């Protein structure tokens, strides 16, 4: 299991540290330019992954980043996110009807 942070400023699908990408043997796909929260631009190595999201298999792009794993808005698109904004609060993600 990998814990991830929901990042509403991240427009991609998912970011993972290179060590996890390597352990999963994800195939490299391309390099992409991205803008961080501080406005700086960086180049990310992008990989392909097959995930099961809401019971459906889909292929997504995964950015390599040494930050904490992030769930981006592309993965959350079409879903409702509800959270208890307290330490270790509950987060519920459900498909919009």
Per-residue pLDDT of the chain (97 residues; tens, 9 = 90+): 788 999 999 999 999 999 999 999 999 999 999 888 788 899 999 999 999 999 999 999 999 998 899 999 999 999 999 999 999 899 999 999 8
pLDDT, residue 36, reads: 82
pLDDT, residue 34, reads: 86
Q: What CATH number is associated with residue 24?
A: 2.40.70.10
In sequence order, which residues have a C-beta less than 8 Å from that of residue 64 and are 6 or more positions away? 15, 16, 17, 18, 21, 44, 45, 46, 47
| Total number of domains in the chain | 1
pLDDT, residue 39, reads: 86
Burial class (CB in 10 A: 0-12, 13-18, 19+), 14: buried
pTM (2 d.p.): 0.85
> Which residue range forms the structural domain that includes residue 33?
5-95
CB atoms within 10 A of CB 66: 9
């Amino acid at each position: 299991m990998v814990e991830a942070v929901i990042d509403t400023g991240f427009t991609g699908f998912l970011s993972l540290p290179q060590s996890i990408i390597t352990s999963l043997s994800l195939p490299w796909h391309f390099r992409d330019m991205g803008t961080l929260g501080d406005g700086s631009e960086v180049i990310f190595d992008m990989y392909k992954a097959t995930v099961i999201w809401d019971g459906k298999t889909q292929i997504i792009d995964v950015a390599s980043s040494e930050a904490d794993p992030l769930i981006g808005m592309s993965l959350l698109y079409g879903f409702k996110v509800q959270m208890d904004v307290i330490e270790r609060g509950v987060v519920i993600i459900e498909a919009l009807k």
